[in-house]
Chains A and B, each alone.
Chain A
C-alpha cells in the first residue's frame, strides 16, 4: 500500500480481518455459518455506520475507503467482507436517495446508535437476477402496505436487523416500475425455503426465503428504484464487490509470493521457474486493481460534482463502464487464483497447507454469477446497438 496515511477505517478493517475474521474463516467456511465474531467486531468499531456523514453521527468514510476496507477484510474472510459490502450498499442507497425524508433520517440515527445490519432483497422467484423487474407489489391499505416476496437469495437474511426490498409500486403496476422499501425486523417474518450449502461464499448464509412484511408509506423511498439502481446501487455494488475480489486475488497472490520466496531461499543464486508465473500473475492483479481504481475515481468525481451528475450516472456510456468492471473483474479473478494455485502446486491444492487455495478459488467463482455475467453482457450488447463512441 502506497498511501502515506492509512485511513482509520482501513486500519480497523485490517485488524479485524487479521485478528478476528481470519481466525474463524476456516470454521465459517467449513460449517457454512455466519461469521458472527467478525460482524460483532465491526459493530463494536461502529463500522456499520462508517459511511454515514459525521453530521449524522457516522464515520464520514468515503467510498474509496470502503473499497479498501472490503479488500482488507476479504484477504482474511471473503464472506465477512461481502456481508460488510452488501450492508454498505444499502446504507449508501438510503443516504443518497432518502436523506431528505424525516423517517429515513430517524432510521439512520437509529442505525448509528444500534449498528443495525441491513440485508438486500432484490432477487425474486420468477425474475432471477434481473434486478430491474419485480413480480411482487406493495398492497396498500390507506397509508400502510403489506408485501409478500419469494426471494431466491437473501444473504444473512436470518441475522439481519432490517431489510431493503424491491417491489412494484402496486401489485398490478408494471414489473419495471419499482420502489425500494425498508422493512424493520419487528414488522416482517422470513420463512426459510431451502438451505445454503454452496461451493463458496458459505458464510454469507444466503438461502431462499418467503418474506412477509408490513410498513408505512414513509418507509418507501420516493425516488423510483430505476434511478437508485443506475445512480447508486449498481455502481456502488460493482465497486464494493470489486474490493472483495481484490482481497481474494491479493490473498492468493500473497501465498504464491511466499511460496516462490521459499523456493528462492532454498537455492540462492538460481531463480525458481515459478517466479516467471508469479511475475505474470502479479501483473494481472495490477491490471485488476487499476481498473477498479479508475472506475472508483470517476464515480467519486461524478458524485462530488454538483448538478448534472445524476444525469451522467444514469447515462448509457456510464452504465457500460460500470458493467464492464463487473464482468471483466469477475472473469479475471478465478484466473488469478488458479494461476496462484499452479504456482504453489500441491501445496496450494492441499486443504491443510498454509498455501491452500481452496476457499479463495471457491469464493472467486461467485463473482461471475452474482448477477450472471451473461445477463450483464446482454444488457451491454443491447446498449452497444445505439452507443457510438469509445
Chain B
C-alpha cells in the first residue's frame, strides 16, 4: 500500500522523463530524469502525505534515489 502511495506521489511530482510504471523499485529516479528541484517537491508531498518530517540527516540524494530507498526511509520514520 505504501508503495502505491509513493508511486502516486512520484507520478505527480518527480517529473520523470520516462513512464514510472516501467521502472522497478530499485531503479535510479535521478537517472530517469528527476531533477534536484523536483526531488524537493517529492519530499514535501511525502512529508504531507505520510505526516512525517525527514530530518536533515536524511536529506541526501541516496535517500530519494529509488522507490526502495524512499520506502526504507519512510518505514524508519514511521516506526518511531
Contacts and interface: CB of A to CB of B under 8 A. Distances in A.
Q: Do A and B come from one complex?
A: yes
Interface of A: 132-133, 173-177, 224, 226-227, 230, 311-312, 314-317, 379, 382-383, 385-389
A379 B36 contact: yes
A116 B55 CA distance: 45
Contact of B56 (A174, A176, A387): A387
Interface residues of B, number: 24
Given A176-B30, A315-B60, A388 B35 contact: no
Interface of chain B, helix or strand or loop or mixed? loop
Contacts of B55: 388
Given A174-B17, A176-B30, A389 B35 contact: no
Contacts of B53: 388
Given A315-B60, A386-B44, A387-B59, 17 more contacts: A132-B35, A132-B36, A173-B33, A174-B17, A174-B18, A174-B33, A175-B33, A177-B17, A177-B32, A314-B60, A379-B36, A382-B36, A383-B59, A386-B40, A386-B43, A388-B53, A389-B56
Interface string B23-39: 00000001111111100
Contacts of B33: 173-177
Contacts of A387: 56, 59
Given A173-B17, A388-B55, A311 B60 contact: yes
Interface of B: 16-18, 30-37, 40, 43-44, 47, 53-57, 59-62
Contacts of A388: 53, 55-56
A175 B36 CA distance: 12
B80 to A, nearest CB: 15
Contacts of A227: 61
Given A133-B35, A379-B36, A386 B30 contact: no
B31 A383 contact: no
